[in-house]
């Protein structure tokens, strides 16, 4: 059964609790933000409270840009997790720029709910962040590391393929499949919601996708009830990497000459 958003009294208790956890006084806090399913009112019995505390001021370039609450704790029987940020790390880490996290960013920012702080100031910051749209630069920021991870872990898998069966072989497959899904999401400009539902989102919405993508994905990732043959996993992994290589060249080639190493990898590494 889904729960309602926290009441005002419950919300004030939560603010006091996370400020105590983060050892910050109210006068030094710019924002306390509730994220995730609890912010949307879609949390369930064992959901956590995902909270970010933004301090006023900046630690400077040599200071910490982000720090996890230590220790995390329990509030009304649920785990509290989150981040303690200053103004600079809030912009860099939470709001984000053109990095590989853009695939998650807009959906996460839409969920955010201000618990404490100036709502007008918060809206001024969030409005332009939510207005950002996918473009080639943002797509490539996701595609590039995902392709590199696919190639790296296929190499690891092939090195193990002639050895006795090991759990690491199948773990390599899961990494390949996960990054294939991220790469497909970026090519199709899909805003992902969470790890839990990302694959369903990609399967349902991606028009640019490998042939038999869902079948090969399940074979490689292990997210299927059927037992997996090692040869089938290797063959499906190779198909995903080959397709990714073709799409990277087609969509982004000939490539930025400043990024010679990556384009050497794309053109030179074939399986």
Q: Does domain 8-131 have CATH number 3.30.70.980?
A: no
pLDDT per position as a tens digit, 167-196: 899 999 999 999 999 999 999 999 999 888
What's the confidence (pLDDT) of residue 232?
94
pTM of the complete model = 0.86
What's the confidence (pLDDT) of residue 102?
93
Q: Where are the domains of the chain?
A: 8-131, 136-268
Report the distance separating Cα 175 and Cα 144, nearest Å: 15
Pairing verdict, β 78-85 and 67-68: antiparallel
Cα angle 50, 22, 126; round to 5: 50
The most confident of 5-9, 86-90, 122-126, by mean pLDDT: 122-126
Question: Quick one: 89 exposed, middle or buried, by C-beta within 10 A (0-12, 13-18, 19+)?
Answer: buried
For domain 136-268, give the CATH number. Answer: 1.20.120.330
Same fold flag, 8-131 and 136-268:
no
List all residues 6 or more positions away from 145 whose beta carbon is below 8 Å from its beta carbon. Answer: 100, 179
Which letter does DSSP use for residue 92 in this model? Answer: I
Question: H-helix or E-strand containing 200?
Answer: helix 198-205
* Residue 118: how many other CB atoms lie within 10 Å: 11
């Amino acid at each position: 059964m889904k729960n309602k958003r926290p009441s005002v009294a419950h919300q004030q208790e939560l603010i006091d609790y996370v400020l105590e956890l983060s050892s910050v006084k109210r006068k030094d806090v710019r924002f306390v933000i509730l994220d995730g399913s609890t912010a949307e009112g879609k949390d369930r019995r064992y959901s956590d409270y995902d909270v970010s505390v933004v301090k006023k001021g900046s630690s400077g370039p040599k200071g910490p840009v982000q720090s996890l609450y230590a220790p995390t704790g329990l509030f009304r029987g649920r785990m509290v997790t989150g981040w303690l940020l200053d103004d600079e790390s809030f912009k860099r880490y939470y709001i984000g720029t053109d990095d590989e996290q853009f695939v998650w960013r807009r959906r996460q920012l839409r969920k955010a709910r201000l618990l404490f702080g100036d709502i007008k100031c918060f809206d001024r910051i969030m409005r332009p962040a939510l207005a950002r749209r996918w473009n080639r630069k943002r797509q490539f920021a996701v595609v590039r590391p995902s392709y590199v991870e696919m190639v790296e872990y296929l190499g690891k898998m092939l090195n193990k393929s002639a050895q006795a069966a090991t759990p690491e072989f199948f773990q390599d497959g899961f990494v390949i499949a996960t990054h294939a899904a991220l790469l497909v999401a970026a090519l199709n400009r899909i805003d992902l919601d969470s790890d839990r539902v990302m694959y369903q989102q990609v399967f349902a919405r991606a028009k640019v996708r490998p042939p038999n993508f869902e079948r090969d994905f399940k074979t490689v990732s292990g997210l299927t009830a059927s037992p997996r043959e090692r040869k089938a996993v290797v063959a499906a992994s190779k198909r995903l990497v080959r397709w990714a290589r073709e799409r990277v060249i087609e969509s982004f080639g000939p490539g930025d000459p400043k990024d010679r190493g990556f384009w050497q990898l794309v053109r030179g590494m074939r399986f």
